[in-house]
A and B are shown apart, each in its own frame.
Chain A
Amino acid sequence: MDEPELEARLRARLHVRFDGAAAPARLRDAVAADLTASNQPHGRRFVPAGWSRQLLAIAAVVVAVVVVAVTLRFSMLPGEVGPGGSASGSPGPTASPSASVAPSGSPAPTVPQPTVPPASTIAWTALDVATLSGAPVQASAVVPWSGGYLAWGQATADGSAQLWRSTDGRSWTVEVPTVTPAGSSLGEVQSGTACGDRVILITFDSASASDQAWSSADGTTWQRMSGADATFDVAGGPSGAIMALDSGPKIAFSADCTAWQTETLPGPANLSVGAVAPSGSGFVAAGYSGQTESNDVRPLAWWSADGVDWNAATVQAKPGDGFVQLYAARDGLIAVSTEPGVTPGLSSLWTSADGRRWQADQADPLGTIAAGEGVGSLASSFSGDGTRLLAYGTRNDAAGPIEYWTSFDGSHWTQLSLGGANASTMLADSEARPFLMRDGVLVSGTSASWFGAARAP
């Protein structure tokens, strides 16, 4: 059975098995009773009202169902074992599902030149918001490249993200990508970066449940990179680009995005990389050791001046946390850690001046990094383009509108005031996702897009 066939069968079967069920009346009654009981003056104690009376009735139903089930089961499939059964054992997130990028010796000495004008380093104080026409919606990645931008968003019929191109971030045209090998598709775009005159994408292929790396010299024709299918993040900097590989985990570096060499990160055997980012002329990586959803997780970080020699960073001890996100700016970096599997999530904001020493920071601009839901505002609160950081979301203590803040170092933040005729409609789209551009912010919503042109003092 090939991968697309397995995916199709799996999807169909899961829908047959699990679609359509509605919460039984008994469950609705029990929940309503719980919530009512919890509203009483003496607190929110779990009082399963009516439970004892219902228990007898439920037990009778259970016995009947089990009898019927066993009877049917044995009459239709003699000798077969029921569902549940034994676990197959998780190999953990760090084992290698496929080959890594082939080692290629020393990287080529050529240092790629930036292909996009650098972002403005003037402090921003406001965004003038205007609605865009024909711009990316549901964008998942925007990559500065070749004097402009490439963006991927709303999925097409084959599951690939749609591709847009722009020179200024305001006017966009839809492109139809061509992929090699023929018959493949780009899939769900995760991240991307410019590397010299090329652009690299990391995508997730649903049928094989694996990452794929793609390279293009023109932004339209895409070549799948062999040997890099375990790549899950990519970052570009002045000296080249790095890819985080699931095997090891390792880091693959290339100065020209053609020849790659791989390096193993120092540390314990059970480490995982959560994200990578450029830092100055080098790179940083952040992750954790131990298994998620367990208490032995420890935050870990690494730095490299050249993408080849990697060193363990000094990280403030905070057992139970693991780095999951990482963003770079001109004067520092931020990382977000979370206690995996905790309900609700407890998260921390970390800062570093150079990626070599990390500490938990209290300079949370929105109060979003604290005990809370652990999703939404955590997962999409920050972005960084190597020059500035952007924080966005609602405040911890209010249901006010979404706020936008910027910083050059992760410790000092400035709130952006929002103006323009379309600011309110932009703020009304709570699923909209902002992307830092060199002179403003592209906000890609569920069905519309906006550009917030930056204003200086």
Chain B
Amino acid sequence: MVGSTMEGLGVSGARGEAALARSIELGLDRAYRIARAILTDDLEAQDAVQDACLTAWRQGGSLRQADRFEPWFDRIVVNGCRDRLRRRQRQRVRAVALEAAWRAEGEGTVPDPAEQARDDQLDRAFDRLDPDHRIVVLMRYWMDLSVDDIAARLGVPQGTVKSRLHYALRELRSDLEASHGRA
């Protein structure tokens, strides 16, 4: 899954900077997976992670608990991706690169057409979710985070997290039912 390998940070001075750089380096795979999942675009995910790394580097002094690097960095990545998603919605830019990668991964196999159609419907329903809803769905059902952890990462009350999850699932279900009706 998302996975991570973290070491404790130092806190200040050259050692602290070296430790922060090391943590960023170790967190790159996780950050890239998160950004890729939110943005569903490989290249934009790379840009988002690069921006997030620089933000983390500049703001590292505000990270008080070394072992909190992962949720802190997650939050920076997620916020950056959310901003990009919102801009993308305004610009109506469609991402196709990642879709191509998924298709390529499936080459050589012969999927059940009905199963493939169901997967496609679910993928499209997920991709149509509002950015905030998409993010909490990923954090809950892909990253397996608790409501408390999601709230901490997003800086919102637990009630907001749960409300977003509730509405996101309702939208997914409604979208799937509509797709089924059209089929």
* A22-B32, A208-B169 given; A377·B65 CB < 8 A: yes
- CB pair B62–A87 under 8 Å, yes or no, is no
* A89-B130, A93-B164, A375-B153 given; A11·B99 CB < 8 A: no
Residue from the list B25, B97, B170, B176 in contact with A32, Cβ < 8 A: B25
- CB pair B155–A23 under 8 Å, yes or no, is no
Chain B 146-180 against A: per-residue CB contact (8 Å), 1 yes, 0 no? 11100111111111101111111111110110000
Shortest Cβ-Cβ A-B pairs, 6 listed: A69-B100, A379-B152, A209-B165, A376-B68, A83-B127, A399-B11
Q: Within 8 Å CB of A70, what residues of B?
A: 96
Q: How far is the CA of A211 from the CA of B165 in the complex (A)?
A: 10
- CB pair B64–A372 under 8 Å, yes or no, is yes
Q: Is B103 an interface residue (CB 8 A)?
A: yes
* A21-B32, A72-B103 given; A399·B79 CB < 8 A: no
Q: Is A122 an interface residue (CB 8 A)?
A: no
* A31-B25, A62-B97, A84-B95 given; A379·B103 CB < 8 A: no
In the complex, what's the smallest C-beta–C-beta distance from A395 to chain B, in angstroms? Answer: 7
Q: How many residues of B contact A (CB 8 A)?
A: 101
Residue from the list A44, A69, A89 in contact with B58, Cβ < 8 A: A44
Interface of B is mostly: helix
- CB pair B72–A376 under 8 Å, yes or no, is yes
Q: Is B123 an interface residue (CB 8 A)?
A: yes
- CB pair B155–A374 under 8 Å, yes or no, is yes
Q: How far is the CA of A322 from the CA of B160 in the complex (A)?
A: 12
Q: Within 8 Å CB of B133, what residues of A?
A: 88, 90
Residue from the list A140, A272, A342, A374 in contact with B159, Cβ < 8 A: A272
Q: Which residue of B lies closest to A70 (CB)?
A: B96
Q: Within 8 Å CB of B99, what residues of A?
A: 69, 73, 82-83
Chain B 92-126 against A: per-residue CB contact (8 Å), 1 yes, 0 no? 01111111111110000000000000111011101
Q: Which residue of B lies closest to A46 (CB)?
A: B54
User: What residues make up the interface of B, taking CB atoms closer than 8 Å to A?
Assistant: 1, 9-11, 17, 21, 24-25, 28-29, 31-33, 36-37, 40, 42-43, 46, 49-50, 53-55, 57-59, 62-68, 71-72, 75-76, 79-80, 82, 88-89, 93-104, 118-120, 122-124, 126-133, 137-138, 140-142, 146-148, 151-160, 162-173, 175-176
Q: How far is the CA of A287 from the CA of B133 in the complex (A)?
A: 21
Q: Can you add 15 more A-B contacts, CB < 8 Å, to A14-B138, A76-B103, A85-B128?
A: A13-B122, A14-B126, A18-B138, A31-B50, A35-B24, A72-B103, A73-B96, A90-B133, A273-B159, A293-B156, A322-B157, A324-B157, A374-B72, A378-B152, A397-B64
- CB pair B128–A86 under 8 Å, yes or no, is yes
- CB pair A373–B63 under 8 Å, yes or no, is yes
Q: Which residue of A lies closest to B11 (CB)?
A: A399
Q: Is A9 an interface residue (CB 8 A)?
A: yes
- CB pair B68–A377 under 8 Å, yes or no, is yes
Q: Is A57 an interface residue (CB 8 A)?
A: no
- CB pair A375–B128 under 8 Å, yes or no, is no
- Looking at A69, A209, A322, the one whose CB has the most chain B CB atoms below 10 A away is A209
- CB pair A7–B157 under 8 Å, yes or no, is no
Q: Within 8 Å CB of A18, what residues of B?
A: 33, 36-37, 138, 142
Q: Within 8 Å CB of B37, what residues of A?
A: 14, 17-18
- CB pair B96–A341 under 8 Å, yes or no, is no
In the complex, what's the smallest C-beta–C-beta distance from A165 to chain B, in angstroms? Answer: 23
- CB pair B43–A73 under 8 Å, yes or no, is no
Q: How many A-B contacts at CB < 8 Å in the complex?
A: 306
Q: Within 8 Å CB of A35, what residues of B?
A: 21, 24, 53, 57
Q: How far is the CA of A396 from the CA of B12 in the complex (A)?
A: 12
Within residues 76 to 126 of chain A, which ones have a CB less than 8 A from any CB in chain B?
A: 76-77, 80-95, 97
Q: Is A318 an interface residue (CB 8 A)?
A: no
- CB pair A233–B159 under 8 Å, yes or no, is yes
Within residues 1 to 39 of chain A, which ones have a CB less than 8 A from any CB in chain B?
A: 1, 3, 6-7, 9-11, 13-24, 26-28, 30-32, 34-35, 38-39
- CB pair A209–B169 under 8 Å, yes or no, is yes
- Looking at A26, A48, A232, the one whose CB has the most chain B CB atoms below 10 A away is A232
Q: How far is the CA of A291 from the CA of B61 in the complex (A)?
A: 29
In the complex, what's the smallest C-beta–C-beta distance from B84 to chain A, in angstroms? Answer: 11
Q: Which residue of B lies closest to A338 (CB)?
A: B155
Q: Within 8 Å CB of B43, what residues of A?
A: 58, 62
- CB pair B128–A87 under 8 Å, yes or no, is yes
Selected A-B contacts with CB under 8 Å, 22 pairs: A1-B173, A6-B173, A11-B142, A18-B33, A18-B36, A21-B32, A23-B31, A24-B32, A30-B46, A31-B24, A31-B25, A31-B49, A68-B104, A85-B128, A86-B128, A92-B163, A190-B147, A373-B62, A376-B65, A393-B65, A397-B64, A399-B66
- CB pair B100–A90 under 8 Å, yes or no, is no
Residue from the list A32, A84, A324 in contact with B88, Cβ < 8 A: A84
Within residues 394 to 412 of chain A, which ones have a CB less than 8 A from any CB in chain B?
A: 394-399
Q: Is A204 an interface residue (CB 8 A)?
A: yes
Q: Within 8 Å CB of A17, what residues of B?
A: 37, 102, 123
Q: Within 8 Å CB of A83, what residues of B?
A: 40, 94-96, 98-99, 123-124, 127
In the complex, what's the smallest C-beta–C-beta distance from A57 to chain B, in angstroms? Answer: 12
Q: Which residue of B lies closest to A400 (CB)?
A: B11
Q: How far is the CA of A85 from the CA of B131 in the complex (A)?
A: 11
Q: How far is the CA of A169 from the CA of B18 in the complex (A)?
A: 43
- CB pair B162–A210 under 8 Å, yes or no, is yes
- CB pair B155–A375 under 8 Å, yes or no, is yes
Q: Which residue of A lies closest to B167 (CB)?
A: A91
- CB pair B57–A343 under 8 Å, yes or no, is no
Q: How far is the CA of A66 from the CA of B171 in the complex (A)?
A: 29
- CB pair A340–B156 under 8 Å, yes or no, is yes
Q: How far is the CA of A85 from the CA of B92 in the complex (A)?
A: 7
Q: Within 8 Å CB of A254, what residues of B?
A: none
In the complex, what's the smallest C-beta–C-beta distance from B79 to chain A, in angstroms? Answer: 5
